[in-house]
Amino acid sequence: MSSAASDVFPPPKDFAAHAAIGSRAAYDELRQVALADPEAFWAARARAGLHWFKPFGKVLDWKPPFAQWFLGGETNASFNCLDRHLTGWRRNKAAIVWEGENFEQRTLTYLELHRRVGQLANALLALGYRAGDRAIIYLPMIPEAAVAMLACARIGVTHSVVFAGFSSEALRTRIEDLGAQLVLTADYGRRRGREVPLKKNVDEALEHCPGVRHAVVYRHTNGPIAMRAGRDLEWAELVASAQPGCPAAHLPSEHPLFVLYTSGTTGKPKGVVHSTAGYLTQVLATMEWVFDLRDEDVYWCTADIGWVTGHSYIIYGPLAAGATTLMYEGAPDWPRPDRFWELIAKYRVNVFYTSPTAIRSFIRQGEAYPAGHDLSSLRLLGSVGEPINPSAWRWYHRVIGHERCPIVDTWWQTETGAILLSPVPGAVAAKPGSATLPLPGIVAEIVDAKGEPVPDGQQGYLVLRKPWPSMLRGLYGDPERYQENYWSRYPGSYFTGDAAHRDADGYYWVLGRVDDVINISGHRLSTMEVESALVRHPQVAEAAAVGRPDELKGQSLVVFCTLKGDAAATPELSEELRAWVAREIAAFARPEEVRMVEALPKTRSGKIMRRLLRELVTTREVKGDTTTLEDYAVLLKLSVEGKDEEEILGKN
Ligand code: WT7
């Protein structure tokens, strides 16, 4: 599959001239070195990139599917993100530049951030928390979220950030699965002028979580909240009496830095476990390769800290690199559609990293909004979370980048920890819609159902052949599911769950998920999770959820339900079910459409044939017209004669 010359965007000459990796030849050499001896390559990155309290010995212990990196070494993520910047001029550099939704501004230098992290860490130590304990962080996009993560990391408390848009129910299941003893939260968050009752959600969740000893509450909006004596503690009071200096714990390389829950193919979210040294080594390497970061840059990743992008590319990556990271609390279109462009102009942002869904919504709003602001500070643009359609890529390139800025389309996953496929902007020509090449040390391949590599141009499954330092170390408390989910399909190789093809230039084109995971605006959602939420509703008998292509969000959610005996299929019930899912999971999971049907298509063994429903919602409008109903009847009939879903899926 070759591309027309017009589809290729070579690195702009002046960009390449100043880039850390400024030519394809230099880059190919780096990849070659990594390929020739991956362990030596990563060991050198780890030694040069991190501060070690104790040097590591063995580089990699690989007992598939369990990897351990940099054995015997001791380090600390919080120390690497803070203390080592304090010895030189960076101590007074802005670490976090924050803007609130209400235009409030705060800047924390490395020294100031270090002080606040130390205070909170000391307060947590005084409460008895130690390495090995687990904390849930349920905070809005405010600097305290970074302080909380780094304070936990400092003393070895494994953190799990729960996106502040998640419901109390979703919060509860994560607290329970993790067996967390501590929750760090705020009174309220701000979203489009509304106040989101975070503490109230925590209160509801904690009704069912007796294992949580403390909830530390930061007063953000100062709205009314209930505080339970003995359990709930005021953040401000705790840190006021704490010393700022807190020595960073010397932690083994493999110490679990964080667990992040993400949707899998069952109703239960998976707790993806990340390590300390391997994670940080690779995240830091990608800051250099992909974002070509310079000390004077203002770097802005628009993700939320509740997702892995926020962990790796708002907090750990930029701070380990000593960068200035911009953090914005609110929505892109609040109070006006030009909020992002205003922020770029105001803070002179140089590197801007956002999602295709955001870009598509900017396209809808029109070019007048970005045109009204000075975007000349921008040097590099990034995209993440879903495939970017070539027309959105071109718009981004022309309207935001003024045809001057390279675009890095970065492919990775919660599980991979760091970016694995992406152009290196000064070295690799971009093609709109392609994440281009695997980064150094990454061995990717596209295989068929049997695991055989497919010829270039042919679609197959994206797999990774070799372990990499920032890979997940497992699923929290569930080694079998880890093995089964990622390593059973192609023994020895990591199965990404994505379909892709590779073109004649060796470029990868990632097409999307092949499992029952859908991607709504870059947020991963399991159809099974939605179905389990729906069948908890007293009037729903069975449910099937599928993704439908959506021009704005990439995919949107359509659900089919059968009702219990006496329930009537009314528009009110349909609305109620939509709201129910939003409340049980999160607002982004609210179904676009609820179809109440007589029966669901099933295989002989009784499994719901989601694939047929997927086809139905993809190829036809499902608005209740007769064509659809006939199609649906045909589907039901088909399913009676039906093959097993696996059988059909296998031919995908
Ligand atoms: C899934 C991972 C990576 C952090 C945010 C999402 C899709 C991600 C791209 C891209 C095509 C992409 C894949 C992947 N995806 N980036 N550049 N091009 N698809 O993390 O929630 O773990 O989702 O997002 O389908 O498997 P996540």
Check residue 602 and give its pLDDT.
82
Cα of 311 from ligand 1 centre, angstroms:
15
Cα of 270 from ligand 1 centre, angstroms:
16
**Torsion angle, alpha carbons of 636, 641, 647, 650, to 10:** -50
Nearest to 288 by CA among 389, 459, 475, 419: 419
At 251, which helix (H) or strand (E)? strand 251-252
Check residue 634 and give its pLDDT.
61
| pLDDT tens by residue, 351-373 | 999 999 999 999 999 999 999 99
Q: Where are the alpha helices (DSSP H) in 387-448?
A: 390-395
Atom of ligand 1 nearest to the CA of 303: 5
Check residue 394 and give its pLDDT.
97
Read off the pTM: 0.92
Identify which of 411, 517, 523, 588 to mutate to test ligand 1's pocket (most ligand atoms within 8 A of the CB).
Answer: 411
Identify which of 420, 446, 524, 588 to mutate to test ligand 1's pocket (most ligand atoms within 8 A of the CB).
Answer: 524
User: Which residues does 639 contact at the CB level (< 8 Å), separation at least 6?
Assistant: 601, 602, 603, 609, 612
Check residue 522 and give its pLDDT.
87
Cα of 522 from ligand 1 centre, angstroms:
7
Cα of 309 from ligand 1 centre, angstroms:
10
Cα of 414 from ligand 1 centre, angstroms:
8
Q: Please work out, in degrees rounded to the nearest 5, the angle formed at the alpha carbon of residue 531 by the alpha carbons of 197 and 183.
A: 30
Check residue 6 and give its pLDDT.
60
Among protein residues, the one whose CA lies closest to atom 12 of ligand 1: 386
For residues 180 and 103, the answer to whether their CB atoms sit within 8 Å is no
Among protein residues, the one whose CA lies closest to atom 21 of ligand 1: 524
Ligand 1 residue neighbourhood (C-beta within 6 Å): 262, 307-309, 384-387, 409-414, 435, 496-498, 510, 512-513, 519, 522, 524
Cα of 193 from ligand 1 centre, angstroms:
29
For residues 378 and 344, the answer to whether their CB atoms sit within 8 Å is yes
Atom of ligand 1 nearest to the CA of 409: 17
Identify which of 286, 415, 510, 555 to mutate to test ligand 1's pocket (most ligand atoms within 8 A of the CB).
Answer: 510
Domains and CATH numbers, the chain: 445-506 (2.30.38.10), 515-648 (3.30.300.30)
For residues 520 and 587, the answer to whether their CB atoms sit within 8 Å is no
Q: Where are the alpha helices (DSSP H) in 54-98?
A: 77-81
How many Cβ atoms are within 10 Å of 28's Cβ, its own excluded? 14
Distance, C-alpha 21 to centroid of its chain: 26
Low-confidence ranges of the chain (pLDDT < 50): 1-3, 5, 621-627, 641-652
Cα of 501 from ligand 1 centre, angstroms:
15
